[in-house]
Structure 1
Amino acid sequence: MLELKDFCFTIEKDGEPVNLVDRVNLKVPAGHFMAIVGPSGCGKTTLLNTIAGLNHMSEGSIYWDGRNLEEEGDLEPAELGYVPQFSIAYDELTVDESIEAVTRLRVKTRDLDDLDLRIDRVLEETGLTEIADRQVKVLSGGQKRRLGLAMELVTDPQLLLCDEVTSGLDPRSERDIVRRLHALSRRDGRIVLSVTHSLAHLELYDSILVLHEGRVAYHGVPEGLTHYFSVADTEEIYPRLAKQPSEKWRKSWLKHGPTYFDKIMRERQKLIDAGTLALPHCKLMQETQEASEDIELDETTELIENKPAKSKRSKRRKSKIAAAPEESDLIQEAPEPIETPGFFSQYATLLGRRWKIFFRDRAQVFLQIAILLCFPCLVALFGPQGNEALRIYPDTIEMTSQDAVRNLQAIGENRAKVGGAVSGIIMFQVVLLSLMGSNNAAREVASERKIFEKEKFGGVRPLAYLFSKITFLSCMILVQSVWMAIFVEQFWPYPEAAGSTGFFDHLNFLILVNAAMTAICLGISSLMKTSEQASLLSIYLVGFQLPLSGAVLALPELVGQITRPFISAYWAWAGSIESLDNRYQAAVKTVTETPLESSSTICLYVLGIQIAVGIIASYIGIKRHQWEH
């Protein structure tokens, strides 16, 4: 049984506390299907999210099978299912692949046969078997809602919460969803709570909870709605609610609530007697004990207050306990507990799914190929300028000769030209790889924030998610950086001293600048609430790389000292310059006033620190709760 006692959720508004859910007292027995209805803004979704734990309860208590969840530990991820309003599946995957992925992430199956049986069962329960091979992006609204439902049923949750799953559907699809939820509540003693704005198909629910301004105005069987609110039709209930304050409705309900709850329990007992509602033995015993406690409490109150009416209800409760079916009559055993897969299992599933989504997203694949081909070609266009031979100063200079002076002037012009070309080509590579890194990661987390938050709620480890992203992006970084270096090398051989490893040092810095920008943008993507915010901030970050690096125009020393530690492009450029042949280093230094005295080791350390900062920021953003209601 799910029980709420003086259940509240409070926010601050204009410096004053406001109860969005106000002192809700509610009991929902096992095997029950309840609708939560009420006018817009009455707190339906807020109540559901607070029950789920997405909102932290401000006051009161919540009990599950007699266990205080605040004091004795929350529900396990497998015990609770939550179907939100939005789609929780990737458009590029098929229905079957979506269910398989979420099963691998949330359920530790014994073997592949166990996995297949679980997938086939939820496909059958939700009527998706015939469309299992269709991609999510071609599904109708009703089919997507059923898919979201199927993805929650893989853990056999005992408490299933559904938020506006019928919203925007045609009447036929809406009734189909409600019927399926009704059927699911009849299995394993599952409780199904469904928030809905619609007052259609109420006859399919076991009870209706009506909220008004966060307070309970009614909770009883559907047949009692019109009588309680003194209206001819359910459509008149909302206007009727508005005619008096919600506090008055709440006080009225406190007087009449026990009578209506008895009606709920009597109707439920009829279902048990008819065999249409089967409860696991453990839940039946638990509810029998709770009913006995209620009887004792009622009898004690009766003696104190001398109210005969409660005596009659006590007798009815006693008769219900006596009429409870024997253990041999139960057709279902208590389900085995579901274990959550380990870190490596979740990591492998997340990584495999990410690659599958990438290769099926043709627009993204074409974009990556275009970038991979075009960016190195842009750098190669400037290769001839950097291939000009670097003239050197003679060992002895005869200043009395006009030819010698002209020769020195020509050598100086040559060195400036070649040095500028070499510096520009290296910086062009660095900036373009920074742009690639931004493109790789700017939307990586933010674009799937809702899906990830839902999966995290279902037991997916943030660290497994982060490592899957790091692995995927690392592959992108290596391919882009190595291809850039090798392709440009064919048109502009990297000038390195004989016997040195200048090219490989340069390649290392190209990989690191791509990795640094990717990590930082991944951190931005993880911290931002929307992909638009993340993309915009990442674009600004790349845009400042060239002007603030000092490679084109030297910055004022004070400005340079402040900004330089944060500019990845500067450290990759400076480190690559340090790996050049000494003559080319000298040539570059003749055309820039930006200090290049930093050693290659310092450049490596700074870029490594930037990568670490980006990863730490990513973990913080991924770990942080960012559920949008």
Structure 2
Amino acid sequence: MLELISVSHIFTRPAKEALTALDHVSFSVPAGHLLAVIGSTGSGKSTLLHLLAGLQHPGGGTVLFRGKDLGQAALHPNEIGYVPASDHVLSEVLTVRESVMSALMLRVAGQTKDERVDRASHLLVGVGLENVASHRVSTLSPTQKRRLKLALALVSDPSLVICDEFTDGLDAKSQSEMAALLKFITTDHPARVVIHATQMAANLAAYDTVVILHEGHVCFHGPSRAVTHYFSIQAIEELYPRLAKRPASRWGESWMRHRDSYYAAFKLGSAGESLKAPDEEEDGADSQRITLPANEKPAAPEAPAEPPAPAAPPLPSLQAQAQHLIQRRWTILRRNQREWTSQLILLVLAPVVAALLLLPNDHYLSEVTSGDTSPAVLWPAAYTCAMGWLLQILLALVFGVRNGAREIAGERPLYRRELAGGLRPTAYLLGKLGFILPIVILQTFLLGLTVEILTGGLPGFALPRLLLLCLTGIAFSSLCLAVSAHCRTAERAHSQAWTLAFANLFLCGALLGFPRVLGSVLHPLVTAHYGWSGGIETLKGTPLFEPLTLLVRTWFATPTLAVIVLLIHFGIGVLLTLRGLRKTH
């Protein structure tokens, strides 16, 4: 059913030697089979799983599934169930049942709510989580979280299930239970192949066959009872020390020379013949040999007919996936007290602080509005306008960093799991925009409105300034979202987003201003410049505008031009975000 033919994969690293993760890996797995891939850290297990799950493409060789070359046509996402090792792929604030329902809504189309509830209940019973269905994921034990990850992978009833370190790090009893669970889901679907990659060599009897990987080479493939025979060891715990005694390439070459004979011996052994292990050889001698029963030649068995696999259910539409992601993200916000509390504090406190900073000089603006244009009033009023508007633009940048910087990088493992299950990057992007944009619009609009009300407002038209303030927050949030999409960790994304915010503050021309030629080169790249200068331009025709042109030696974009450029910056942020999301795939 699944066949790998000389699959290789090499990671190229800048200024470093290329790293060979897989070196001509070949083996096959029939339907209804549970396979263990055993190997230490760096053996290539995770790379192999990522290739099978479609998260990476092999550098060479062929992968066949039911006769279909996956290099030519990838499997439908719902034919694969991927169970990653990390528990960060789970949303901690959702309940167990909500997590399964969410996976169903993102992966399986055409189901009614009742059908999804029935399917979720069936899965939870199958993996042993029906008693904690209403519990939040954050309250689950490590074993229960692994059961939940398996349930999420099974929502589409896939024919290929791939588990990464599913039993690693558990106590002996839990390891045995998890291995039995994998065996159960294998037999529950006659056309299913289950592959489990692990460092643990315990409970191998639960698996139909075992593949042993060592530094990218296949060193053995067969039933677990033959492992000690082949490597001439007394117990399975001696496997890794034995592998370390000779280079991985030699183990791989040895297996390739004797693989066919050993496969034949496995077939004969099923009738009762014993597999005879050779004596320990001197280090550096040829590999172990296989002793077949005398005067018998293994006959090539007829390949059994594979059971038909049910057709993979269709994926939900782009709109359905995006709509569910928006609803789920708002649910997570409501459940996460720390997050919504900080958002609420920022929403209320930022406008009040901005207004309080402007109030001491507010009387200058009132006197100018009343007709007093004496230098003693006009110049402080001009300075107050310039700095007051810059303060609001700065807070709009803060809103952008707060809302966009960690949004994607902070849940990258979750995104990769759902991506492997058929989530469209565009739907994920729309889900994020549907969550972030309403928050940013509310924050910036409330900021501008509060300042206008408490201070009496700057001269000129307030509506264009409110629009520019909102667009500045929207554009910068999309750029921070793009930073998040290209960073591996939330901390790195947060740091780079703040760097971008400070660069905008210093380069926007509001403090001193660049020479006009240099400014014409830099300012098209600076989001804050168009928010700030477009707002200052709305004062044109008032007594304050001429002093402002003398205070800051830079050019001011018209409100119309500022709106157009801010929309362009928003579009650039969206495109860069989508590029980062697709690059993850």
Same-fold call, TM > 0.5?
yes
Aligned to 1:428: 391
Aligned to 1:415: 378
- Matched residues in 2 for 1:423 and 1:248: separation? 73
Aligned to 1:346: 321
For structure 2, the 5+ residue unaligned runs are: 273-291
Q: How many residues align?
A: 561
3-state secondary structure, aligned to 2:134: coil
Aligned to 1:283: none
Question: Which stretch shifts more, 3-12 or 586-595?
Answer: 586-595
3-state secondary structure, aligned to 2:56: coil
Q: 1:463 aligns with which of 423, 426, 429?
A: 426
- Matched residues in 2 for 1:166 and 1:103: separation? 25
- Matched residues in 1 for 2:295 and 2:393: separation? 81
Answer whether contact 2:214 2:243 (CA < 8 A) is retained. Answer: yes
- Matched residues in 2 for 1:25 and 1:619: separation? 36
Aligned to 2:11: 11
Aligned to 2:439: 476
For structure 1, the 5+ residue unaligned runs are: 271-306, 395-407
Query: What amino acid is the match of 1:572?
Result: G
- Matched residues in 1 for 2:493 and 2:382: separation? 37
Aligned to 1:313: 298
CA shift digits 1:210-264 (9 cap, x unpaired): 1222212111111111111111111112222222333332333234433543566
3-state secondary structure, aligned to 1:385: helix
Aligned to 2:199: 197
Is 1:368 paired with 2:353?
Answer: no
Aligned to 2:359: 383
Q: 1:572 aligns with which of 519, 528, 531?
A: 531
Answer whether contact 1:94 1:132 (CA < 8 A) is retained. Answer: yes
1:133-282 matched pairs, under 5 angstroms: 133-188=134-189, 189-262=191-264
Query: What amino acid is the match of 1:420?
Result: Y
Structure 1 residue 90: deviation in Å? 0.8
Aligned to 2:583: 624
1:517-528 matched pairs, under 5 angstroms: 517-528=476-487
The 1:557/1:223 distance shift into structure 2, 3 A limit, reads same
- Matched residues in 2 for 1:40 and 1:208: separation? 17
CA shift digits 1:320-350 (9 cap, x unpaired): 86xx8xx9xxxx9743431111111101111
Answer whether contact 1:438 1:521 (CA < 8 A) is retained. Answer: yes
Answer whether contact 1:496 1:581 (CA < 8 A) is retained. Answer: no
Query: What amino acid is the match of 2:345?
Result: A
3-state secondary structure, aligned to 1:583: coil
CA shift digits 1:327-381 (9 cap, x unpaired): 9xxxx97434311111111011111111111111111111111111111111111
Is 1:530 paired with 2:489?
Answer: yes
Q: Of the two, which has the highest radius of gyration?
A: 1
Aligned to 2:112: 111
The 1:248/1:583 distance shift into structure 2, 3 A limit, reads closer
The 1:74/1:268 distance shift into structure 2, 3 A limit, reads farther
Answer whether contact 1:109 1:115 (CA < 8 A) is retained. Answer: no
TM-score, normalised to structure 1, is 0.84
The 1:344/1:585 distance shift into structure 2, 3 A limit, reads same
Query: What amino acid is the match of 1:229?
Result: F
Structure 1 residue 153: deviation in Å? 0.5
- Matched residues in 1 for 2:553 and 2:403: separation? 30
- Matched residues in 2 for 1:391 and 1:334: separation? 80
The 1:568/1:334 distance shift into structure 2, 3 A limit, reads closer
- Matched residues in 1 for 2:369 and 2:464: separation? 25
Structure 1 residue 557: deviation in Å? 3.8
1:501-580 matched pairs, under 5 angstroms: 502-580=461-539
The 1:148/1:507 distance shift into structure 2, 3 A limit, reads same
Query: What amino acid is the match of 1:80?
Result: I
Answer whether contact 2:383 2:548 (CA < 8 A) is retained. Answer: no
Q: 2:312 aligns with which of 323, 337, 346?
A: 337
Query: What amino acid is the match of 1:234?
Result: I
Structure 1 residue 496: deviation in Å? 4.2
CA shift digits 1:477-510 (9 cap, x unpaired): 221122112211221122445xxxx111111111
- Matched residues in 2 for 1:521 and 1:5: separation? 43
CA shift digits 1:270-318 (9 cap, x unpaired): 9xxxxxxxxxxxxxxxxxxxxxxxxxxxxxxxxxxxx999984327x25
- Matched residues in 1 for 2:78 and 2:268: separation? 30
Structure 1 residue 42: deviation in Å? 1.9
3-state secondary structure, aligned to 1:366: helix
Answer whether contact 2:160 2:192 (CA < 8 A) is retained. Answer: yes
Query: What amino acid is the match of 2:479?
Result: I
- Matched residues in 1 for 2:367 and 2:8: separation? 77
Answer whether contact 2:92 2:136 (CA < 8 A) is retained. Answer: yes
Aligned to 1:278: none
Query: What amino acid is the match of 1:181?
Result: L
The 1:311/1:340 distance shift into structure 2, 3 A limit, reads farther
Answer whether contact 1:7 1:24 (CA < 8 A) is retained. Answer: yes
- Matched residues in 2 for 1:5 and 1:346: separation? 36
Answer whether contact 2:368 2:381 (CA < 8 A) is retained. Answer: no
The 1:81/1:266 distance shift into structure 2, 3 A limit, reads farther
The 1:556/1:181 distance shift into structure 2, 3 A limit, reads same
Please give the root-mean-square deviation of Cα atoms over the aligned residues, in Å: 2.7
Question: Which stretch shifts more, 473-482 or 53-62?
Answer: 53-62
CA shift digits 1:174-215 (9 cap, x unpaired): 222111001111122211111111111111111111122221
3-state secondary structure, aligned to 1:420: helix
Question: Which stretch shifts more, 238-247 or 583-592?
Answer: 583-592
